[in-house]
Amino acid sequence: MLMPINQFIIRCSSSPWKFALLFVGFFSSLQALLFIGEKFKPYAKGAKPFDLQNSLHSDQIFMQLANYSDQAFSLYYIFTGIDYFFPLFAGLFLATIWAYVLRHNLPGWYEYALRRHLFVLLLIPALFDWLENIMLLITIAAFPTELSGAADTAVIMKQAKLAATTVAQITTAVIVIAGIAITIKRKLTG
């Protein structure tokens, strides 16, 4: 399972148009989520969709759901549909950056990551995001019955997603900076 995904990442990192398509998918899905998030607020008494509330606590979920209009529920379902694509595009985009930079600047590390299918690790935030989405959908679909366990699990998955995303972004930044430094050094030393 990991090898085909890893190979897809490698192919995308070797093709400017595939890389561009990943960026377009990432950027357009993010913009769609932010757009719906703003359209959502008037139908939920000013609340954003749960996915856009990074400091969300499970007790807030039910308080906010009580203020959802029918339009808010409809918009949330559209939002969630898009939110299955966004983390996938984001993870693939970061993994492709890793593969490209390592291949061109740190070939030993690239071979190590390639052999162990490590580029797939950048999809871990997507897995947590999908689990968060599933638990929130279960919670919303059951409302007005309050499924506290599902809401608590959604918040745990949200926190895991945020932590994994932070690690992915920081390590990507470090790899890009290292790649730039190696490229500059290579040009200066001829």
Cα angle for residues 45, 51, 56 (degrees, 5° grid):
75
DSSP class of 50: G
CA 103, 163, 154, 47: dihedral to nearest 10 degrees? -110
> For residue 190, what pLDDT is reported?
73
**Peptide linkage before 144 cis (omega within 30 of 0):** yes
Q: Is 36 helix (H, G, I), strand (E, B) or coil?
A: helix
Q: What is the pLDDT of residue 2?
A: 79
What pLDDT is stored for residue 170 in this prediction?
Answer: 97
Q: Note the pLDDT tens digit of each residue in 101-127.
A: 999 999 999 999 999 999 999 999 999
Check residue 98 and give its pLDDT.
96
Model pTM above 0.85: yes
How many angstroms separate the CA atoms of 50 and 136, rounded? 8
Q: Which residues of the chain have pLDDT under 70?
A: none
